[in-house]
């Protein structure tokens, strides 16, 4: 089994990746700015992301480094471009160079929002054409990985991630992307509340939902197979927001009658255009990683099992 360092392991996606890798028998080291604020079943190490020396010491003797930490305040990112570049691009390149110098596999978690939203089931070979600053920064991060590591690194794009935070109770509201969408819907309908599925010109309306723990399991495959290049760690099914909502109702035995459609309030709009269709194809990735069919219904059933059992239940088995 491998020793794997993960930046952002105290966040939503990162905590699921960490727990999935831990469950598969890997040793996990979480990189964090302040470990005193968190409690996790994996080791947490404080790092200074601006320091090569700090990052090198924290990731020494690691077989792989997974970089999924992000800055979430998008309005601040747009107002403070130097800080945005540092947090998204410079740290990505710095951590990649450190991992490569230490002989560690480097995996950068990217996003479907590197796409412009005009295509459908975009292949891994599409370099992207972002239409907002977040997608642009993620695209620059991808370029930094490919350039700095000269083909030795892996870029893992994810989309419409389902799941729950593994080390914190962190319910979220619906946003104009697909993050937290299913969990938010399930919480609302289980409480007997109506759920408004957002639509309109300023909403990401189509994607290929994935499961956060399955992303972690597939990262295990990337490490085991030393896979490189751009990979799409997504499910097989491209769906609209309404189709995703109805599927969640069916899987979680919730009433469709509580679902209605509407536009998001102005206060919840992203401060820039968003891709309408950010669906990603995964044929190349599944061939490289040896992964079988993963329709939406099976991924969502796994998510329901995670909620019922209180532990990650990815479809891919790396143990």
Q: What's the pTM?
A: 0.97
How many domains is the chain partitioned into structurally? 1
315 in any annotated domain: no
pLDDT band at residue 151 under the 50/70/90 scheme = very high
- What is the reported pLDDT for 319? 47
Q: Which long-range contacts (CB under 8 A, 24 or more apart) does 245-248 make?
A: 245/181, 245/185, 245/195, 245/197, 247/296, 247/297, 247/300, 248/182, 248/185, 248/186, 248/300
Flag whether pLDDT at 45 surpasses 50.
Answer: yes
How many Å apart are CA 185 and CA 169, to the nearest integer? 16
Which CATH number goes with the domain that contains 184? 3.40.50.720
Give the mean pLDDT of 309-313. 96
Give the mean pLDDT of 263-270. 92
User: For residue range 64-81, what is the model confidence (pLDDT) as tens digits?
Assistant: 999 999 887 777 878 899
Flag whether pLDDT at 152 surpasses 90.
Answer: yes
24 in any annotated domain: yes
Query: Which range (36-40, 121-125, 170-174) has the least confidence?
Result: 170-174
Give the mean pLDDT of 27-33. 96
How many Å apart are CA 66 and CA 17, to the nearest integer? 9
156 in any annotated domain: yes
Query: Tokens at residue 155, please?
Result: 């870029």
- What is the reported pLDDT for 318? 62
275 in any annotated domain: yes
User: For residue range 85-131, what is the model confidence (pLDDT) as tens digits?
Assistant: 999 999 999 999 999 999 999 999 999 999 999 999 999 999 999 99
- What is the reported pLDDT for 181? 96
> Which residue range is the domain that position 149 belongs to?
3-309
Share the mean pLDDT of the chain.
Answer: 95
Q: How many CA atoms lie within 13 A of 63 on its CB side?
A: 15
- What is the reported pLDDT for 167? 93
User: For residue range 49-63, what is the model confidence (pLDDT) as tens digits?
Assistant: 999 999 999 999 999
295 in any annotated domain: yes
How many Å apart are CA 179 and CA 39, to the nearest integer? 23
CA distances from 180 to 97, 170, 175, 305 (A): 32, 10, 8, 17
How many Å apart are CA 70 and CA 84, to the nearest integer? 10
Flag whether pLDDT at 225 surpasses 60.
Answer: yes
257 in any annotated domain: yes
Flag whether pLDDT at 6 surpasses 90.
Answer: yes
- What is the reported pLDDT for 271? 87
């Amino acid at each position: 089994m491998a020793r794997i360092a993960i930046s952002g392991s105290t966040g939503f996606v990162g905590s699921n990746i960490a727990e999935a890798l831990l469950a598969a028998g890997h040793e996990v080291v979480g990189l964090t700015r302040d470990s005193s604020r968190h409690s996790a079943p994996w080791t947490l190490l404080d790092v200074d992301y601006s320091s090569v020396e700090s990052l090198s010491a924290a990731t020494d003797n690691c077989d792989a480094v997974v970089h999924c930490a992000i800055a979430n305040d998008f309005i601040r990112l747009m107002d403070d471009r130097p800080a945005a570049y540092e947090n998204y691009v410079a740290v990505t390149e710095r951590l990649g160079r450190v991992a490569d110098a230490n002989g560690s596999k480097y995996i950068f978690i990217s996003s479907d929002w590197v796409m412009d939203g005009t295509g459908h089931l975009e292949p891994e070979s599409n370099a992207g054409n972002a239409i907002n600053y977040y997608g642009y920064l993620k695209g620059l991060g991808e370029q930094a990985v490919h350039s700095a590591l000269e083909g030795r690194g892996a870029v893992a794009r994810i989309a419409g991630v389902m799941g729950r935070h593994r080390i914190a109770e962190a319910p979220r509201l619906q946003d104009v992307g697909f993050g937290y969408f299913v969990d938010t819907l399930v919480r609302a309908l289980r409480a007997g509340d109506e759920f408004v599925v957002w639509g309109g010109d300023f909403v990401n309306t189509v994607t290929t939902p994935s499961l956060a723990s399955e992303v972690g399991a597939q990262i295990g495959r990337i490490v085991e197979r030393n896979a490189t290049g751009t990979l799409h760690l997504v499910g097989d099914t491209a769906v609209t927001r309404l189709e995703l909502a109805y599927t969640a109702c069916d899987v979680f035995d919730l009433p469709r009658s509580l679902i209605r459609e509407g536009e998001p309030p102005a206060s919840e709009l992203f401060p820039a255009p968003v891709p309408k269709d950010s669906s990603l194809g995964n044929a190349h990735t599944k061939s490289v990683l040896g992964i079988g069919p993963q329709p939406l219904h099976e991924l969502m059933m796994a998510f329901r099992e995670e909620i019922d059992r209180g532990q990650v239940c990815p479809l891919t088995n790396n143990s």
